[in-house]
Structure 1
């Protein structure tokens, strides 16, 4: 007997949500059916599912996919999970807030899921940390200056960003504080922190480079069981250069795992 399709709602019809929503509507994830889209902005005529509010989506869906930013996770995450609806988040940077992460993990009966997004190797980091803590974990993220400008930046830093002729170090900190300062650009930092299990143990450096035609993430980890280095370079999404074009496909892969698609490496 075939199991009923997972009734899936999508929150956010931006660069990530459009790809995910159209793929779901085209049947790209067997076992998942797109039943609604949540977004306050004008959506156009090509949205492949009815538009609704978050409250309405909770009544209609088994799973909500967040593709709307960290603010949505903070505002609605607990309520979604407490309603019994599962939640898959793309904006993992929200989980750098340890108090929020704890509240979401303690909430239920809905289950919280997170996608690895633009970075691989997280499963290996989790496996290594199960053997014992790492001595050092570093992440260096390099992006175009325009994708990193933030309201909190002073005039001096803004000038350095816009006049840079080479790489400029914008911020160095931990995976606890960097995602808060760059809410649309450093979800990878939180993903590494989740894999390691300690945001304070991950040192993050954010670099602006006017020549960075590809977004770069370099993870370096060292410990008693070995040394590890991962580097990925992604073409930015043309509709939203702050994110990589691969992110919606990482979300779709996570959806495939949740619906029990067989024959894939988990």
Structure 2
């Protein structure tokens, strides 16, 4: 592998544009953007050659997934089998345990996950080595409009659209919730990846008309300690379903993979 990571960004949306532009401007030492993968016509606006994913695998040693869970399901194993590493932003795809096992077993490429909009996952992963956590809860609060889904009935949609106070939209496990909110609750899957158990993580999704910042509260307890992490982010102006910080979390992960010193690992 060369000393400079040859990166392809899959998905030129709210996350991919920020990540790809930073790479093209040389803001990630040890990594360069060589391909943009998106099946939509971008009109020459991408700062690197636009190709299919299959063609990009011939030029890249690392693909950043910023295109959604579908790409992880359809292409994840093929990317890794080609010898190309894969950095996944849409961790919600990993609520499919069979897929997660196949990706972790695939290779010779390596699979990585970015923490996205929350912190503390490194600590939860470290605590997990001491023994299982007894209780893990995630409460995600967003603007009602960012949580609307095709499966919702009219009664729930009306409650959300007319709400003057927080409304619980769904509660369940980290196995159940991300499948219902594929663009809004990757955080739940990320917490489950850190904890090592989809069913241990209880998730509550709340619609709040006053939630001008997206909020995530993680609370965990176990025999070895208690942990609480709370974050409040501005939504991305181009895609309010995701937080503005997410592409910068991807860039931090990229910097670590490119070998930048001084990184917290």
> Which TM-score applies when normalising by structure 2?
0.98
> 1:106 & 1:226 partners in 2: Cα distance?
32
> 2:233 & 2:125 partners in 1: Cα distance?
23
SS in 2 for 1:242: coil
Are 2:50 and 1:51 aligned?
Answer: yes
In the TM superposition, residue 237 of structure 1 has moved relative to its aligned partner by 0.1
Deviations 1:148-204 (A, max 9, x none): 011111111111111111100000000011000000000000000000000110000
RMSD: 0.8
The residue aligned with 1:128 is 127
SS in 2 for 1:36: strand
The residue aligned with 1:9 is 8
The residue aligned with 2:170 is 171
Query: Which deviates more, 247-256 or 156-165?
Result: 156-165
Q: How many residues align?
A: 264
> 1:103 & 1:129 partners in 2: Cα distance?
22
Are 2:148 and 1:183 aligned?
Answer: no
SS in 2 for 1:18: helix
Deviations 1:73-130 (A, max 9, x none): 0111111111111100110111111111011111111110110000000011111111
SS in 2 for 1:222: strand
Query: Which deviates more, 152-161 or 250-259?
Result: 152-161
Deviations 1:207-237 (A, max 9, x none): 0001100000000001111111100000000
Deviations 1:15-72 (A, max 9, x none): 0000000000011111111001011123233311000001101111101000000011
The residue aligned with 2:38 is 39
SS in 1 for 2:172: strand
In the TM superposition, residue 132 of structure 1 has moved relative to its aligned partner by 0.9
The residue aligned with 1:216 is 215
> Which TM-score applies when normalising by structure 1?
0.98
SS in 2 for 1:138: strand
Q: Which runs of 4+ in 1 moved over 6 A?
A: none
The residue aligned with 2:74 is 75
> 1:57 & 1:248 partners in 2: Cα distance?
21
Structure 2 unaligned blocks of 5 or more: none
SS in 2 for 1:104: helix
Deviations 1:121-146 (A, max 9, x none): 00111111111111100000000011
In the TM superposition, residue 265 of structure 1 has moved relative to its aligned partner by 1.6
> 1:54 & 1:128 partners in 2: Cα distance?
37
The residue aligned with 1:20 is 19
The residue aligned with 2:147 is 148
Deviations 1:234-257 (A, max 9, x none): 000000000000000000000000
